[in-house]
A = this chain, B = another copy of it.
Amino acid sequence: MENDLVHELGYIALATRLKRISDKLTYSTRLMYKKLDIDIEPNWYLVLILIKETPNISVMEVAKNLGFTHQSVITMANKMRDNGYLKISKDINDKRRTIFNLTIKSIEKLPQIEEVWKTGKKVIYELLNGDTAITKHLEILESNLDQISFGERIINKLNQY
């Protein structure tokens, strides 16, 4: 990665840099699961522990808890069901709601997956050279973005002159 303009620009091309790192992590995780012969995808763990903690949780609740759109949750959940990790059913009391529950397969596989995630936690700590201050920076960035978006802020600033 010599001569990397994005790198050189520092925080200017922040979006591109964040995406690049995130992609690297995700692709690598996917590959790791394959090598370990676990038929699971990167974000499934989050969904699994959420359902484990709250059985009968709905699409919208999962979306809210994980910060995804409900459409993303549906796509993920359908794949998980196809792979035998999820039971998807309709709420009897509210026919609009779709609810999730773990299957025997996912209950059986959870300990192994949790082991991988515990190790992943250590690895990320290592990758950050033991300094987790980055989460504070991300927190600030996210909460500022939640108030006024990047684009709006630029437009506001441009209009000042």
The number of times this chain is found in the oligomer is 2
A: number of interface residues (CB 8 Å): 78
Do B65 and A5 have beta carbons less than 8 Å apart?
A: yes
* A132 sits at the interface (CB 8 A): yes
With A5-B65, A7-B67 as known contacts, state yes or no: A12 contacts B120, CB within 8 Å. Answer: yes
Min CB–CB distance A120 → chain B (angstroms): 6
* A123 sits at the interface (CB 8 A): yes
The one of B18, B64, B119, B139 in contact with A18, judged by C-beta atoms closer than 8 angstroms, is B18
Over the window 47-89 of chain A, the binary record of Cβ atoms lying under 8 Å from chain B Cβ atoms (1 yes, 0 no) is 0011000000000000011110000000000000000000000
Q: Which residues on the B side are within 8 Å of A6 (C-beta)? A: 46, 66-67
Do B151 and A35 have beta carbons less than 8 Å apart?
A: yes
Q: A55–B116 Cα gap in the complex (Å)?
A: 48
Over the window 116-159 of chain A, the binary record of Cβ atoms lying under 8 Å from chain B Cβ atoms (1 yes, 0 no) is 11011111111111011111011111101110011111110110
* A92 sits at the interface (CB 8 A): no
With A132-B10, A154-B116 as known contacts, state yes or no: A1 contacts B146, CB within 8 Å. Answer: yes
> Closest residue to A35 on the B side, CB-wise?
B155
A interface with B by C-beta (< 8 Å)? 1-7, 9-26, 28-32, 35-36, 42-43, 46, 49-50, 64-67, 115-117, 119-129, 131-135, 137-142, 144-146, 149-155, 157-158
